């Protein structure tokens, strides 16, 4: 456990010393969201109707931006060779990196979400559910995205490829994440959607670090 904490601490220290990356993802999220009122027109009803989906799509795309760097730095400078020899299983190292990605990239996105929801005229019933759905859904983005980042290590056009591989797999998160907010605004129960989001998160947490470790290991061979 202490080794996992050390691995996580290393990732967080690296992120704190390079704060631009997390800030860039949050900036992208804000800008991408702001583009929609210009694109579809500022009509309040229309914006309120599409707000949940827009915020989810923008969050997905913003998270994609920073995923490419998740394993690449350590892979290129050779640190991964050392980490792979460490007593901590490679799957836990991958898990620590995914957790660090969630803490440094997705938490700022979640923090910015209520403000963006105000700009998009989301109904007040939806706020709490939107933040809860984001909190349950974004870890799945970090986990599945981490597998994609590990698979594309050293590939040509890795960043673009990463989005192509990962976004189709994240469609269920988008469906249930936006669906929960729509249900809350319409006055229906949201328990079911949130439970599905939590189930997807737990399944991804069990499988993705392991798959990412397998992908990293074959990249190191």
Partner 1 sequence: MSRLHRFASPARFVRLADRIQPWTGWAAALLIGAGLVVGFGFSPPDYQQGDTVRIMYVHVPSAWMAMFCYAVMAVCAAAGLIWRHPLAHVIAHGAAPIGACFTIVCLATGMLWGKPMWGRWWAWDARLTSVLILLFLYLGYIALANAFDNTARGDRSSAILALVGAVNLPVIKFSVDWWNTLHQPASVTRIGAPAIHSSMLTPLLLMAAGFMCLFAALLFVRVRAGLLERRLRALRHARAHAGGMDTGTGLS
Residues that bind partner 1 (CB under 8 A): 147, 151-152, 154-158, 161, 164-165, 167-169, 171, 211, 214-215, 218-219, 221
Instruction: Determine the Cα–Cα distance for residues 187 and 198; give it in Å rounded to an integer.
Output: 21
Distance of alpha carbon 60 from its chain centroid, rounded? Answer: 6
Write down the least CB distance from residue 132 to partner 1, Å. Answer: 23
Task: Please identify, using beta-carbon distances, which residue of 58 and 153 lies nearer to partner 1.
Answer: 153
Write down the least CB distance from residue 48 to partner 1, Å. Answer: 20
Q: Which helix (H) or strand (E) holds 142?
A: helix 126-151
Task: Please identify, using beta-carbon distances, which residue of 88 and 169 lies nearer to partner 1.
Answer: 169
Task: Please identify, using beta-carbon distances, which residue of 6 and 207 lies nearer to partner 1.
Answer: 207
Write down the least CB distance from residue 182 to partner 1, Å. Answer: 14
Task: Please identify, using beta-carbon distances, which residue of 104 and 193 lies nearer to partner 1.
Answer: 193
Q: What is the CA radius of gyration of the chain?
A: 18
Write down the least CB distance from residue 201 to partner 1, Å. Answer: 14
What angle in degrees, to the nearest 10, is found between the helix axes of 90-101 and 191-220? 130
Instruction: Determine the Cα–Cα distance for residues 18 and 147; give it in Å rounded to an integer.
Output: 23
- Candidates 139, 128, 135, 131; CA nearest to 201 is 139
């Amino acid at each position: 456990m202490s080794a996992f904490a050390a691995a996580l601490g290393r990732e967080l220290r690296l992120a704190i010393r390079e704060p631009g990356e997390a800030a860039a993802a949050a900036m992208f999220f804000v800008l991408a969201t702001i583009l929609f009122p210009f694109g579809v027109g500022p009509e309040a009803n229309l914006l309120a109707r599409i707000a949940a989906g827009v915020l989810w799509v923008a969050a997905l795309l913003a998270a994609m931006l920073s995923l490419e760097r998740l394993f690449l730095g350590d892979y290129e400078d050779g640190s991964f060779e050392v980490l792979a020899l460490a007593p901590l299983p490679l799957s836990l190292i991958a898990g620590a990196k995914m957790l660090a990605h969630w803490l440094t990239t997705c938490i700022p996105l979640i923090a910015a979400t209520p403000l963006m929801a105000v700009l998009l005229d989301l109904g007040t019933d939806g706020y709490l559910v939107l933040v809860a759905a984001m909190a349950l859904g974004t870890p799945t983005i970090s986990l599945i995205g981490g597998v994609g980042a590990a698979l594309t290590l050293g590939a040509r056009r890795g960043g673009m490829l990463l989005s192509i591989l990962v976004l189709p797999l994240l469609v269920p998160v988008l469906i249930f994440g936006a669906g929960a907010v729509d249900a809350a605004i319409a006055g229906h129960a949201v328990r079911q959607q949130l439970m599905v989001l939590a189930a997807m998160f737990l399944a991804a947490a069990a499988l993705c670090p392991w798959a990412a470790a397998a992908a990293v290991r074959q990249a190191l061979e």
